[in-house]
Amino acid sequence: MSRILPLIAAQAPPRLIGEPLAGFARELRTTLAHQPNAKLVVFPELHLFGDGTPDQQRADALQASAEPLDGPRVDGLRAIAAELGIWLVPGSVCERGEDGQLFNTQLVLSPGGDIAGAYRKIFPWRPFEPYDPGHEFVTVDLEGYGRAGLNICYDAWFPEVTRQLAWMGAEVIINVVKTTTPDREQELVLARANAITNQVFMVSVNCAGPTGQGRSIIVDPEGGVVTQAPSAEPAVLTAQLDLSAVEHVRNHGTAGLNRMWSQFRPGEPAIELPVYQGRIDPESWNPVLRSSRSIA
Protein backbone atom coordinates (compact mmCIF):
# COMPACT_ATOMS: atom_id res chain seq x y z
CA MET A 1 0.00 0.00 0.00
CA SER A 2 1.32 3.43 -0.94
CA ARG A 3 1.91 5.79 1.99
CA ILE A 4 3.09 9.01 0.39
CA LEU A 5 4.22 11.70 2.83
CA PRO A 6 4.43 15.23 1.34
CA LEU A 7 7.43 16.78 3.05
CA ILE A 8 9.12 20.17 3.25
CA ALA A 9 12.68 20.53 4.55
CA ALA A 10 13.38 24.20 5.24
CA GLN A 11 17.07 25.09 4.98
CA ALA A 12 16.92 28.43 6.74
CA PRO A 13 19.22 30.63 8.85
CA PRO A 14 18.45 30.48 12.58
CA ARG A 15 16.17 33.01 14.19
CA LEU A 16 17.37 35.05 17.16
CA ILE A 17 16.93 33.72 20.67
CA GLY A 18 13.84 35.20 22.27
CA GLU A 19 12.34 36.51 19.04
CA PRO A 20 8.51 36.40 19.16
CA LEU A 21 7.02 33.26 17.64
CA ALA A 22 4.88 35.41 15.34
CA GLY A 23 7.96 35.79 13.13
CA PHE A 24 8.42 32.02 12.94
CA ALA A 25 4.73 31.57 12.12
CA ARG A 26 5.10 33.98 9.18
CA GLU A 27 8.24 32.14 8.04
CA LEU A 28 6.38 28.84 8.20
CA ARG A 29 3.45 30.15 6.15
CA THR A 30 5.87 31.44 3.51
CA THR A 31 7.63 28.06 3.47
CA LEU A 32 4.32 26.23 3.02
CA ALA A 33 3.64 28.25 -0.11
CA HIS A 34 6.21 26.04 -1.86
CA GLN A 35 4.02 22.98 -1.27
CA PRO A 36 0.63 23.93 0.21
CA ASN A 37 -0.39 20.30 0.67
CA ALA A 38 2.67 19.39 2.74
CA LYS A 39 1.88 17.26 5.79
CA LEU A 40 5.31 17.41 7.48
CA VAL A 41 7.55 20.49 7.72
CA VAL A 42 11.07 20.23 9.20
CA PHE A 43 13.37 23.06 10.28
CA PRO A 44 17.06 22.79 11.32
CA GLU A 45 18.48 22.13 14.77
CA LEU A 46 18.03 25.03 17.22
CA HIS A 47 16.25 27.07 14.56
CA LEU A 48 14.82 29.43 17.19
CA PHE A 49 18.10 29.84 19.07
CA GLY A 50 20.49 31.78 16.87
CA ASP A 51 22.85 34.54 17.97
CA GLY A 52 26.24 35.93 17.07
CA THR A 53 27.87 36.04 20.49
CA PRO A 54 31.19 34.43 21.51
CA ASP A 55 31.11 30.84 22.78
CA GLN A 56 30.83 31.44 26.52
CA GLN A 57 28.23 34.17 26.12
CA ARG A 58 26.35 31.90 23.75
CA ALA A 59 26.35 29.08 26.32
CA ASP A 60 25.00 31.52 28.90
CA ALA A 61 22.32 32.70 26.46
CA LEU A 62 21.23 29.15 25.74
CA GLN A 63 21.02 28.39 29.46
CA ALA A 64 18.94 31.51 30.02
CA SER A 65 16.58 30.64 27.17
CA ALA A 66 15.77 27.10 28.33
CA GLU A 67 12.19 26.27 29.29
CA PRO A 68 10.41 23.05 30.25
CA LEU A 69 8.30 21.49 27.51
CA ASP A 70 5.12 22.75 29.20
CA GLY A 71 6.42 26.33 29.03
CA PRO A 72 5.14 29.20 26.89
CA ARG A 73 7.51 28.62 23.96
CA VAL A 74 6.33 25.08 23.26
CA ASP A 75 2.72 26.10 23.94
CA GLY A 76 3.10 28.69 21.19
CA LEU A 77 4.62 26.16 18.78
CA ARG A 78 1.79 23.73 19.50
CA ALA A 79 -0.73 26.43 18.64
CA ILE A 80 1.04 27.13 15.32
CA ALA A 81 1.00 23.43 14.34
CA ALA A 82 -2.68 23.17 15.21
CA GLU A 83 -3.59 26.35 13.32
CA LEU A 84 -1.89 25.08 10.15
CA GLY A 85 -2.94 21.45 10.61
CA ILE A 86 0.53 19.98 9.94
CA TRP A 87 3.10 17.72 11.52
CA LEU A 88 5.76 20.23 12.55
CA VAL A 89 9.40 19.73 13.52
CA PRO A 90 10.45 23.28 14.51
CA GLY A 91 14.05 22.11 14.79
CA SER A 92 15.11 21.53 18.38
CA VAL A 93 14.67 23.64 21.49
CA CYS A 94 16.63 24.34 24.67
CA GLU A 95 14.75 22.33 27.28
CA ARG A 96 15.12 22.82 31.01
CA GLY A 97 15.08 19.34 32.54
CA GLU A 98 13.37 18.20 35.70
CA ASP A 99 16.60 18.56 37.69
CA GLY A 100 17.84 21.72 36.01
CA GLN A 101 19.62 20.06 33.07
CA LEU A 102 20.02 21.75 29.71
CA PHE A 103 18.81 19.45 26.93
CA ASN A 104 18.88 19.94 23.16
CA THR A 105 15.43 18.52 22.42
CA GLN A 106 13.87 17.78 19.05
CA LEU A 107 10.09 18.15 18.92
CA VAL A 108 7.41 16.68 16.70
CA LEU A 109 4.09 18.50 17.00
CA SER A 110 0.93 16.93 15.64
CA PRO A 111 -1.71 18.57 13.43
CA GLY A 112 -3.87 18.68 16.54
CA GLY A 113 -1.24 20.67 18.45
CA ASP A 114 -0.02 17.85 20.69
CA ILE A 115 3.58 16.95 21.46
CA ALA A 116 3.77 13.72 19.48
CA GLY A 117 7.45 13.19 20.26
CA ALA A 118 10.32 14.79 22.16
CA TYR A 119 13.89 13.54 21.80
CA ARG A 120 16.83 14.73 23.89
CA LYS A 121 20.08 14.64 21.90
CA ILE A 122 22.06 11.64 23.09
CA PHE A 123 25.40 12.71 21.60
CA PRO A 124 26.07 16.45 22.13
CA TRP A 125 28.98 17.67 20.01
CA ARG A 126 31.71 17.66 22.63
CA PRO A 127 33.67 19.60 23.71
CA PHE A 128 31.84 22.38 21.87
CA GLU A 129 28.25 22.14 23.13
CA PRO A 130 26.95 22.79 26.66
CA TYR A 131 24.08 20.28 26.63
CA ASP A 132 23.44 17.38 28.96
CA PRO A 133 22.96 14.10 27.06
CA GLY A 134 19.62 12.38 26.74
CA HIS A 135 19.27 8.64 27.26
CA GLU A 136 16.24 7.49 25.26
CA PHE A 137 15.72 6.74 21.57
CA VAL A 138 12.44 8.11 20.24
CA THR A 139 10.17 7.21 17.33
CA VAL A 140 6.89 8.88 16.38
CA ASP A 141 3.97 7.42 14.47
CA LEU A 142 2.79 9.90 11.83
CA GLU A 143 -0.80 8.75 11.58
CA GLY A 144 -1.69 7.58 8.10
CA TYR A 145 1.91 7.61 6.85
CA GLY A 146 4.41 5.66 8.93
CA ARG A 147 6.97 5.85 11.68
CA ALA A 148 9.70 8.49 12.04
CA GLY A 149 12.86 8.27 14.13
CA LEU A 150 14.30 11.40 15.73
CA ASN A 151 17.97 12.28 15.43
CA ILE A 152 19.97 15.48 16.00
CA CYS A 153 23.13 16.50 14.12
CA TYR A 154 26.13 14.70 15.71
CA ASP A 155 23.95 11.65 16.46
CA ALA A 156 24.39 10.75 12.78
CA TRP A 157 28.09 10.12 13.40
CA PHE A 158 27.20 7.22 15.71
CA PRO A 159 25.78 4.36 13.60
CA GLU A 160 24.19 2.85 16.68
CA VAL A 161 21.61 5.65 16.77
CA THR A 162 20.17 5.12 13.30
CA ARG A 163 20.39 1.35 13.68
CA GLN A 164 18.42 1.46 16.94
CA LEU A 165 15.74 3.70 15.42
CA ALA A 166 15.43 1.43 12.39
CA TRP A 167 15.16 -1.60 14.66
CA MET A 168 12.36 0.22 16.50
CA GLY A 169 10.47 0.41 13.20
CA ALA A 170 11.44 3.87 11.91
CA GLU A 171 10.98 4.21 8.15
CA VAL A 172 12.26 7.78 7.92
CA ILE A 173 14.92 9.36 10.13
CA ILE A 174 14.52 13.10 10.72
CA ASN A 175 18.04 14.44 11.34
CA VAL A 176 17.93 18.14 12.24
CA VAL A 177 21.34 19.78 11.93
CA LYS A 178 23.20 22.98 12.77
CA THR A 179 26.56 22.39 11.12
CA THR A 180 28.59 25.57 10.72
CA THR A 181 31.91 23.78 10.14
CA PRO A 182 33.60 22.15 7.10
CA ASP A 183 32.58 18.61 8.13
CA ARG A 184 29.23 18.93 6.35
CA GLU A 185 30.94 17.08 3.50
CA GLN A 186 31.35 14.02 5.71
CA GLU A 187 27.78 14.34 7.00
CA LEU A 188 26.47 13.98 3.45
CA VAL A 189 28.31 10.66 3.20
CA LEU A 190 26.89 9.60 6.56
CA ALA A 191 23.33 10.44 5.48
CA ARG A 192 23.64 8.10 2.51
CA ALA A 193 25.50 5.43 4.49
CA ASN A 194 22.93 5.42 7.31
CA ALA A 195 20.13 5.14 4.75
CA ILE A 196 21.84 2.23 2.97
CA THR A 197 22.85 0.20 6.01
CA ASN A 198 19.41 0.52 7.62
CA GLN A 199 17.20 0.72 4.51
CA VAL A 200 15.40 3.86 5.66
CA PHE A 201 14.76 7.35 4.31
CA MET A 202 17.12 9.98 5.76
CA VAL A 203 16.06 13.63 5.97
CA SER A 204 19.06 15.74 7.03
CA VAL A 205 18.11 19.42 7.34
CA ASN A 206 20.96 21.87 8.02
CA CYS A 207 20.76 25.59 8.71
CA ALA A 208 21.55 28.04 5.93
CA GLY A 209 24.32 30.57 5.61
CA PRO A 210 25.73 32.81 6.74
CA THR A 211 25.53 30.73 9.93
CA GLY A 212 25.47 27.21 8.56
CA GLN A 213 26.92 25.16 5.74
CA GLY A 214 23.51 24.23 4.31
CA ARG A 215 23.55 21.40 1.76
CA SER A 216 20.48 19.71 3.24
CA ILE A 217 19.73 16.31 1.76
CA ILE A 218 16.94 13.75 1.49
CA VAL A 219 18.01 10.17 0.78
CA ASP A 220 15.93 7.11 -0.13
CA PRO A 221 16.26 3.62 1.46
CA GLU A 222 18.81 2.51 -1.14
CA GLY A 223 21.03 5.56 -0.65
CA GLY A 224 19.82 7.48 -3.69
CA VAL A 225 19.59 11.25 -3.36
CA VAL A 226 15.95 12.31 -3.65
CA THR A 227 16.84 16.00 -3.51
CA GLN A 228 19.68 18.13 -2.15
CA ALA A 229 20.40 21.81 -1.63
CA PRO A 230 23.55 22.58 -3.63
CA SER A 231 24.92 25.30 -1.37
CA ALA A 232 24.53 27.14 1.93
CA GLU A 233 21.97 29.56 0.50
CA PRO A 234 18.47 29.42 2.03
CA ALA A 235 16.43 26.76 0.26
CA VAL A 236 13.19 24.83 0.54
CA LEU A 237 13.39 21.15 -0.37
CA THR A 238 10.12 19.41 -1.23
CA ALA A 239 9.61 15.69 -1.64
CA GLN A 240 6.91 13.06 -1.80
CA LEU A 241 8.24 10.22 0.34
CA ASP A 242 6.55 6.89 -0.34
CA LEU A 243 7.25 5.18 2.98
CA SER A 244 6.04 1.86 1.61
CA ALA A 245 9.34 1.82 -0.31
CA VAL A 246 11.08 0.79 2.93
CA GLU A 247 9.21 -2.49 3.10
CA HIS A 248 9.78 -3.06 -0.62
CA VAL A 249 13.56 -2.57 -0.33
CA ARG A 250 13.77 -4.79 2.74
CA ASN A 251 11.79 -7.54 1.02
CA HIS A 252 13.57 -7.38 -2.34
CA GLY A 253 17.00 -6.10 -1.30
CA THR A 254 19.09 -2.99 -1.91
CA ALA A 255 19.92 -3.00 -5.64
CA GLY A 256 17.71 -6.10 -5.70
CA LEU A 257 20.35 -7.99 -3.69
CA ASN A 258 21.15 -7.11 -0.09
CA ARG A 259 18.63 -7.98 2.66
CA MET A 260 20.46 -7.21 5.91
CA TRP A 261 17.34 -7.49 8.06
CA SER A 262 16.75 -11.04 6.77
CA GLN A 263 20.31 -12.24 7.33
CA PHE A 264 19.72 -15.08 9.78
CA ARG A 265 18.38 -18.60 9.35
CA PRO A 266 16.15 -20.30 11.96
CA GLY A 267 18.10 -21.73 14.85
CA GLU A 268 21.33 -19.82 14.25
CA PRO A 269 23.10 -18.65 17.42
CA ALA A 270 23.10 -15.06 18.60
CA ILE A 271 26.07 -12.86 17.74
CA GLU A 272 27.65 -11.45 20.86
CA LEU A 273 28.52 -7.73 20.86
CA PRO A 274 31.01 -7.30 23.72
CA VAL A 275 31.47 -3.57 23.09
CA TYR A 276 27.77 -3.09 24.01
CA GLN A 277 27.50 -5.96 26.48
CA GLY A 278 24.67 -7.12 24.25
CA ARG A 279 23.90 -9.31 21.24
CA ILE A 280 22.13 -9.61 17.91
CA ASP A 281 19.51 -12.28 18.47
CA PRO A 282 18.17 -13.89 15.27
CA GLU A 283 14.84 -14.42 17.02
CA SER A 284 14.19 -10.67 17.25
CA TRP A 285 16.25 -9.30 14.33
CA ASN A 286 13.27 -8.20 12.27
CA PRO A 287 12.19 -4.56 12.32
CA VAL A 288 9.63 -5.19 9.55
CA LEU A 289 7.65 -7.40 11.93
CA ARG A 290 8.22 -5.00 14.83
CA SER A 291 6.82 -2.07 12.84
CA SER A 292 3.90 -3.95 11.28
CA ARG A 293 0.70 -2.07 12.06
CA SER A 294 -2.52 -0.91 10.54
CA ILE A 295 -2.14 2.45 8.81
CA ALA A 296 -5.41 4.38 8.84
Structure confidence at residue 272 (pLDDT):
95
- What are φ and ψ of residue 255, in 5° steps? 55, 25
Structure confidence at residue 284 (pLDDT):
86
pLDDT, one tens digit per residue, over 100-143 is: 999 999 999 999 999 999 999 999 999 999 999 999 999 999 99
Structure confidence at residue 296 (pLDDT):
32
Cβ–Cβ < 8 Å for 81, 113? yes
Secondary structure of residue 141 in the 3-state scheme: strand
Cβ–Cβ < 8 Å for 201, 221? yes
Q: Could you give all domains of the chain from N- to C-terminal order, each with its CATH number? A: 4-290 (3.60.110.10)
Structure confidence at residue 200 (pLDDT):
98
Q: Which residues contact 29 (CB under 8 A, 6 or more apart)?
A: 84
Structure confidence at residue 59 (pLDDT):
84
Cβ–Cβ < 8 Å for 184, 232? no
pLDDT, one tens digit per residue, over 144-155 is: 999 999 999 999
Cβ–Cβ < 8 Å for 282, 268? yes
Kindly give the parts of the chain with pLDDT less than 70: 1-2, 52-55, 288-296
Please report, to the nearest 10 degrees, the dihedral formed by the alpha carbons of residues 23, 24, 25, 26 taken in order: 50
| Reduced 3-state DSSP string for 63-92 | HHHCECCCCHHHHHHHHHHHHHCCEEECCE
% helix, strand, coil for the chain, step of 5: 30, 25, 45
Secondary structure of residue 148 in the 3-state scheme: strand
Concatenated DSSP letters for 222-251? TS-EEEE--SSS-EEEEEEEETHHHHHHHH
